[in-house]
Structure 1
Amino acid sequence: MHTNYYFVYGTLKNGHRNHHLLGGSLKVGDFTTKPEYSLLDLGSFPGVVKNGTTAIHGEIYKVSSQEVEGQIDLLEGYQPHGKNNLYHKELITIENKPVYIYILNTSVVDIAKYSEISSGKW
């Protein structure tokens, strides 16, 4: 069976407008990353960048559908091997579990235009 874990921190979280895209994915729980990132307010959604000092608060979902993964990738502007993706999809470890997270592609997004959310919560 195909299964991956995803750390979501914005509109895919429970109660937010794109949560339905997760379909029947199982919520594992609420988690926080290591304080190695910055969370930016991009207006109607947030973005995470590396090399910061903020722990990002979010939720981890167990995704067992390639269709759901495709929907999430599409929402996040991600294509495998795409150079102009809005986000990169990367594996990180949270509490000894490998999970995917979407990291802003700073070669496409001018992050200097956006304010940081110092709490790490969107």
Structure 2
Amino acid sequence: MNVITNYLFVYGTLQKHERNHHWLNGAERVAEQAWTKGRLVESEHEYPGLVRSDDAIVYGELYKIDEDILKKVDELESFKEDNEGNFFDREIRVVDTDGSKYEAHVYFLNQPNVEADEQAYYDWKVTRRLQKETPLYFAYGSCMDHERIEVADMLDGFDAVGLGVLSGYDMDFTTRAEDGGRADITEKKDSTVEGIVYKITDEALEYLYMREGVYAGKYRPAFVDVEVEGKKVNMLTFIVIDKEESIAPPDHYLTEIVRGGKKFLTEKYINAIHDKVDKLRKG
């Protein structure tokens, strides 16, 4: 029997660490940072639905699947190709990742009168987690610098746990301020990002939202698996939304990263940051 290979974009309970993820057993995760056009709505049953919209973005994960897995997910979503009364419709849509664009299956609500959430972009997993707890936080850029946090009188809200290592990502400078680049992480196979893991307070979380420009649409909150103290923990970090071509950061920003990270980051990793910045400055 020929196996048909497809891509599937998931944005709710099928995501990693969520209750229906086992329906994707055997699927290959292509990207855990993926997005497509659409507007999320909440359900009374603790799962989201997606409404067609060209004015909003939904974040989720992208998987490579075969025909058997697609049939199982159709069953979960009560979707039948010959049934016009489906609760969900399945369509092929363009899905973006850090590296490429894909055409993937996406499930949309077949409910024309549902009211959509008013957020311009949305990540159901982030919203759900933050409603339940204030999670651990992974800092990889200037937010490792305690001097800047102390200036903001927020140091009491950050309790350093130790070195965190994020696999499958690269740290780069893909967003710009007036004086140069600022740090970001992008998915990249066989790369790692080092940073500091913190226990944070609710007040510290609000400070991070303001500092990272979340409300202004600069960075977005996301959850990633970080190794800390010998085990992987799913924790909060912040990722640039509109990535640009990498640009060298200014001296003061590089100083903040190194000064903040030197207590925890390995010497090899700090040297790699210096090398990356030198290459960007040389063009």
User: By the TM > 0.5 criterion, same fold?
Assistant: yes
From 26, 30, 33, the equivalent of 1:28 is 30
Q: How far did residue 54 of structure 1 move?
A: 1.8
Asked if the contact 1:40/1:117 (under 8 Å) is kept, the reply is no
Q: TM-score, normalised by structure 1?
A: 0.85
Q: Which blocks of at least 5 consecutive residues in structure 1 are unaligned? A: none
Residue matched to 1:81: 82
Looking at structure 1, the residues matched to 13 and 111 of structure 2 have their Cα atoms a distance apart, in angstroms, of: 20
Residue matched to 1:49: 51
Looking at structure 2, the residues matched to 27 and 51 of structure 1 have their Cα atoms a distance apart, in angstroms, of: 25
Which structure has the larger Rg over C-alpha atoms?
2
> Residue deviations 1:82-114, cap 9 Å, x none?
11101110001124311000010025xx413xx
Looking at structure 1, the residues matched to 65 and 38 of structure 2 have their Cα atoms a distance apart, in angstroms, of: 24
Matches within 5 A, 1:105-120: 105-107=110-112, 110-112=113-115, 116=117, 118=119, 119-120=121-122
Looking at structure 1, the residues matched to 87 and 71 of structure 2 have their Cα atoms a distance apart, in angstroms, of: 15
Looking at structure 1, the residues matched to 41 and 29 of structure 2 have their Cα atoms a distance apart, in angstroms, of: 24
Looking at structure 1, the residues matched to 4 and 68 of structure 2 have their Cα atoms a distance apart, in angstroms, of: 11
1:60 pairs with 2:65 = no
Looking at structure 1, the residues matched to 11 and 26 of structure 2 have their Cα atoms a distance apart, in angstroms, of: 18
Q: TM-score, normalised by structure 2?
A: 0.39
Looking at structure 2, the residues matched to 59 and 77 of structure 1 have their Cα atoms a distance apart, in angstroms, of: 21
Q: Which amino acid aligns with 1:90?
A: E
Looking at structure 2, the residues matched to 52 and 45 of structure 1 have their Cα atoms a distance apart, in angstroms, of: 22
SS state at 1:31 partner: strand
Q: How many residues are aligned here?
A: 115
**Judging changes above 3 Å, is the alpha-carbon distance between structure 1 residues 105 and 3 closer, same or farther for their aligned structure 2 residues?**
same
Q: How far did residue 117 of structure 1 move?
A: 6.5
**Judging changes above 3 Å, is the alpha-carbon distance between structure 1 residues 52 and 41 closer, same or farther for their aligned structure 2 residues?**
farther
Q: Which amino acid aligns with 1:23?
A: N
Q: How far did residue 52 of structure 1 move?
A: 5.2
Looking at structure 2, the residues matched to 45 and 18 of structure 1 have their Cα atoms a distance apart, in angstroms, of: 10
Looking at structure 2, the residues matched to 104 and 10 of structure 1 have their Cα atoms a distance apart, in angstroms, of: 13
Q: How far did residue 19 of structure 1 move?
A: 0.3
Looking at structure 2, the residues matched to 37 and 2 of structure 1 have their Cα atoms a distance apart, in angstroms, of: 26
Q: How far did residue 51 of structure 1 move?
A: 2.3
Residue matched to 2:95: 94
From 3, 6, 12, the equivalent of 2:5 is 3
Asked if the contact 1:41/1:117 (under 8 Å) is kept, the reply is no
What percentage of aligned pairs have identical amino acids?
Answer: 30
Looking at structure 1, the residues matched to 109 and 54 of structure 2 have their Cα atoms a distance apart, in angstroms, of: 13
Please tell me the root mean square deviation across aligned C-alpha atoms, in Å.
1.6
Looking at structure 2, the residues matched to 28 and 9 of structure 1 have their Cα atoms a distance apart, in angstroms, of: 14
Residue matched to 1:40: 41
Looking at structure 2, the residues matched to 57 and 67 of structure 1 have their Cα atoms a distance apart, in angstroms, of: 25
